[in-house]
């Protein structure tokens, strides 16, 4: 059970990391996408 909680916590951490990297990717690509949209 403790192992199950640990893996669940690890799953949530990796999901949070995935959301963070996705958000970071959108943030870094925004100027490029914005410039393409404007120009």
Q: Is the dihedral of CA 27, 31, 34, 36 positive or negative?
A: negative
At 1-39, the pLDDT tens digits run 577 777 778 777 777 777 777 777 777 777 766 676 665
Q: What pLDDT shows up at residue 28? A: 74
User: What is the domain range of residue 25?
Assistant: 1-39
Total domain count for the chain? 1
Residues 23, 16: Cα–Cα separation, whole Å: 10
- Helix H, strand E, coil C: the string for 1-39 is CHHHHHHHHHHHHHHHHHHHHHHHHHHHHHHHHHHHHHC
Q: What pLDDT shows up at residue 22? A: 72
Comparing CA positions, the residue from 16, 19, 37 lying closest to residue 27 is: 19
Is 0.85 topped by the overall pTM? no
């Amino acid at each position: 059970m403790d192992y199950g909680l640990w893996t669940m916590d690890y799953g949530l951490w990796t999901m949070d990391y995935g959301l963070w990297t996705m958000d970071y990717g959108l943030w870094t690509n925004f100027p490029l996408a914005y410039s393409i949209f404007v120009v």
